[in-house]
């Protein structure tokens, strides 16, 4: 670090140390940012997507809440498995689950056929390759372990 950056850091730390009001404000901002980040859940993502599609806020939240109650609490981890494998993005999975919630369809992300159906609906024109199908089998197996 050069001398000027070291002086800036020292000045910043001394302001925080000697002025509790500044430190308290910074602490509150940090905590509120963390709380907002934690509140972002799969259910809120689904309700947000439904509102973007034209549903009213209350109806979207109710549909999303009912969908999340019906399905297992491990649904978020199942979605993480899908996204982590690189098969689909979080937004794509949320879009699929939002449509399932809207039409009140039962969906089980631990079943291979459901995962294949999801991907074929997301990527209508693309044919699923052997690598993708093998990855779907692995994800289905992981999700079955979560469900058990």
Q: How far apart are CA 97 and CA 141, in angstroms?
A: 19
Which residues form the domain of 12? 3-38
Domain check: are 133 and 101 in the same one?
yes
Q: pLDDT per residue over 65-100, tens digit each?
A: 899 888 767 888 999 999 999 989 999 999 999 999
The pLDDT value given to residue 14: 73
What's the full length of the chain, in residues? 148
Same domain, 7 and 67: no
Give the lowest-confidence range in 37-46, 70-79, 122-131: 37-46
Q: How far is CA 134 from the centre of its chain?
A: 24
Do 22 and 65 reside in the same domain of the chain?
no
Residue 143 and residue 81 in contact, taking contact as beta carbons nearer than 8 Å: yes
State whether 23 and 52 are in the same domain. no
Domain count for the chain: 2
- What would the pLDDT profile of 45-56 be if each residue is shown by its tens digit? 999 999 998 999
DSSP 8-state class, residue 126: S
Q: Are residues 115 and 81 in the same domain?
A: yes
């Amino acid at each position: 670090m050069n001398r000027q950056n070291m002086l800036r850091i020292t000045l910043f730390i001394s302001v925080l140390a000697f002025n509790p009001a500044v430190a308290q404000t910074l602490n509150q901002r940090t905590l509120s940012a963390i709380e907002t980040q934690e509140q972002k859940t799969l259910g809120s993502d689904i309700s947000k997507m439904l509102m973007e599609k034209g549903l009213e806020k209350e109806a979207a939240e109710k549909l999303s809440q009912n969908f999340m109650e019906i399905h297992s609490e491990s649904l978020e981890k199942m979605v993480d498995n899908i996204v982590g494998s690189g098969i689909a993005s979080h937004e794509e999975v949320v879009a699929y689950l939002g449509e399932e919630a809207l039409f009140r369809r039962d969906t089980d992300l631990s079943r291979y056929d459901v995962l294949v159906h999801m991907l074929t609906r997301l990527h209508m024109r693309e044919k699923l390759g052997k690598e993708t199908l093998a990855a779907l089998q692995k994800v289905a197996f992981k999700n079955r372990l979560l469900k058990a």
